[in-house]
Amino acid sequence: MAANGKPDPATERNETTVERKSARELVVTRIFDAPANIVFKAWTTPELLQRWWAPKSYGISFIACEADVRTGGTYRFVFGHPSAPEPMEFIGRYIEVTPNVRLVWTNEEAGPDGAVTTVTFEESDGKTRVVMHDLYPSEAALDAAIESGSTGGFGESFEQLDPVLADEALKKP
């Protein structure tokens, strides 16, 4: 995609793109209108992270957001959703933290089949291209994640999501 150095028209418009790059890899790409140090800070400071990681349009709220962002540090995110009887917990370890450049963490809430997530921050002309790369231990593990239907978000099914959006719309004056 960007390998030939040509800008990707989709990401030029700050669109979020997702691609299954290979049997066990999933890649999310987005460009942000800010230098890498700012974008990196927003990914690595718990107070900032919790302002965007649980999107309001999904009705998700943070119950706990603990992130010791340094190599070997751990994180623990706990979310709540009005339709979920139990809070949802996400845990893992940061295996690489290179300021303003690269962030690598494990996803261990589901056991050994979890992906390793690598996020790179590439600054150019004052903008930052963020590439988030999920590498699963096997093709079967990624297929299983897809088959489970879970994306790690809330409002998992569209039927669930739509009433949430409708609720949000009603709340507006």
109 contacts: CB under 8 Å, gap ≥ 6 = 89, 90, 91, 92
Half-sphere exposure of 131 (CA within 13 A, CB side): 17
Residue 110 region by backbone torsions, left for phi larger than 0, else alpha for psi between -120 and 50, else beta? alpha
Binding-site string for another protein from residue 80 to residue 99, where x marks contact by CB under 8 A and - marks none: --------------------
Query: In angstroms, what is the minimal distance from the CB of 72 to another protein?
Result: 26
Q: Which is nearer to another protein, 63 or 144 (CB)?
A: 144
Q: Distance (Å, rounded) from C-alpha 106 to C-alpha 92?
A: 5
Q: Distance (Å, rounded) from C-alpha 172 to C-alpha 150?
A: 29
Q: Which is nearer to another protein, 86 or 159 (CB)?
A: 159
Q: Which is nearer to another protein, 97 or 142 (CB)?
A: 142
Q: Give the footprint of another protein on residues 113-152 (CB under 8 A).
A: 125-126, 132, 146-147, 149, 151-152
Query: In angstroms, what is the minimal distance from the CB of 139 to another protein?
Result: 12
Q: Distance (Å, rounded) from C-alpha 48 to C-alpha 46?
A: 5
Instruction: Provide the 3-class DSSP secondary structure of residue 104.
Output: strand
Q: Which is nearer to another protein, 39 or 97 (CB)?
A: 39
Q: Give the footprint of another protein on residues 17-36 (CB under 8 A).
A: 17-20, 26, 28, 30, 32-35
Q: How far apart are the first and last CA of the chain?
A: 43
Residues near another protein, by CB under 8 A: 14-20, 26, 28, 30, 32-35, 38-39, 41-42, 48, 51-53, 55-58, 125-126, 132, 146-147, 149, 151-153, 156-159, 162
